[in-house]
Amino acid sequence: MDAKSKRRDVTISSLNAAIDALNLAKEAMGMTPAKAAFGSVSIILTMIRVGFRPVHVGRPLANARRIP
């Protein structure tokens, strides 16, 4: 396994741990605003983990800047 693969595995493992911790915190919280905040951050981390690339709103897709 090369260094790039190891970094990717460590990063994905860290993201999974953070997502799990946020989901547990969201379930433990009784306040709705806190649940919404934890849920939103968990969704963002999940999108990062799966490599979701947001489309820029207001610009045609053909003119959107590619994210390397």
| Helix, strand, or coil (residue 61) | helix
Task: Look at the pTM and tell me if it is higher than 0.75.
Answer: no
Strands (E) located in 1-68: none
Domain boundaries, the chain: 3-50
CA angle 37/40/41 to nearest 5° reads 90
Q: Give the burial class of 5: count Cβ atoms within 10 A of its Cβ; 0-12 exposed, 13-18 middle, 19 or more buried.
A: exposed
Contacts of 35 (CB under 8 A, 6+ apart): 26, 29
What's the whole-number mean pLDDT along residues 1-8? 85
Q: What pLDDT digit, counting tens, does each position of 18-65 carry?
A: 989 988 888 888 888 888 888 889 888 888 888 866 555 555 555 555
More confident residue, 51 or 15: 15
